[in-house]
Amino acid sequence: MSVDRAAAGTAEVGAAAEGGAAAGLGRAAVVFTGGTISMTVDPVAGGATPALGGDALLASVGASPGGLPAPVVVDLGRTPASHFSFDDLLGIARTAADALAADPALVGAVVVQGTDTMDEAAFTYDLAWHDARPLVVTGAMRTSDAPGADGPANLRDALLVAGSGAFRGQGCVVVLGGQVHAADAVVKMHTSAVDAFASPDTGPIGRVDGGRALLLRRRVGRRSLPERLGPVPPVGLVVAAIGLDGSAIDACVAAGAAGVVVEATGAGNTHPSLLAAAERAMAAGVAVVLASRVPAGRVTTGYAFPGGGATWARAGAILAGRLTGPKARAALSLGLAAGLDRDGLAALLDDPA
């Protein structure tokens, strides 16, 4: 995917405004990128394929009891979320930020995308988001032609959150299934259920009920990066499992990775051979981060047997706090692009105080 902001163009959608937008709620930028929400089942292809653009999706939203912000559309095409690169994600975030910078009257921005990588994409946006107005990410678990399609309700809820002053200062949030999740906490927990997203450590920070966006609690700190980043370097992700040695870490280093994230078992424990490979990587100047393959809980130094979390920390690995492996990889990749040293990377990956 290549994001061409100059060619994308913006337009206020009158049909959607007539279907439930209220002038008193202002206007919100809506950046469309594709995903299941835009797909229909193609019997020739044998599955779901991209079909609908932003205007068609907004036409399906319908009314909300209290009205909706009028959408200002930026259509970037129909890219499956599994195809995104970090450059693509940073381009999407810049597109939303540019739309808000060009019009201070906009109340917030919505990004509509696929759910496959939504949790790590939202976290990437959050790292790069510097506007007090909310950036709301949404999509759908069912295609637009499926019975009980969830896309219209999710898009309506996302607009409500974007237009709510309560969510100013909350950075990037994910809205699906009536819940609002902080970008650093949300995890996709199911391959197909409409309530696939959860925040297993903290729970949602808000919900949408009866046409109202409700903030249940405010986020405690946020990770952020400078607005200007250099090229994003390659960073590997290695999962620890029974019988696996450190060869995958060695392969990442041989391929030119500037960093490696290891998803350990439990609270941060691996076979000693993975630690030995990580020590070789760090000796070669490669940044190594220790995360957990468990979707909830922190990586800790509670275990000191060979390969335990304490031995990783003593060897110089950076602990990822509560971040999942993919999110730790996003933070490490962008932190390296920002030129952060080891202390800066450790501060970025640690849980906000």
Q: How far apart are CA 142 and CA 110, in angstroms?
A: 19
Q: How far apart are CA 141 and CA 287, in angstroms?
A: 36
Q: How far apart are CA 176 and CA 98, in angstroms?
A: 25
Q: How far apart are CA 262 and CA 233, in angstroms?
A: 17
Instruction: Give the relative orientation of helices 86-102 and 325-337 as an angle to the nearest 10 degrees.
Output: 70
Verify whether residue 36 is a known catalytic residue: yes
Beta bridge partners of 11: 73
252 to 245, 276, 300: CA distances (angstroms): 13, 14, 24
Both tokens of 26, joined, read: 């202002």
Please list, in sequence order, all residues whose beta carbon lies within 8 angstroms of the beta carbon of residue 113, skipping any fewer than 6 positions away. 33, 34, 35, 81, 92, 121, 137, 139
Q: How far apart are CA 33 and CA 5, in angstroms?
A: 12
Under DSSP, the state recorded for 82 is G
Active-site residue among 10, 36, 117, 311? 36
Which residue has 């090229």 as its token pair?
A: 231
Q: How far apart are CA 45 and CA 20, in angstroms?
A: 35
Q: How far apart are CA 51 and CA 83, in angstroms?
A: 17
Residues annotated catalytic, as ranges: 36
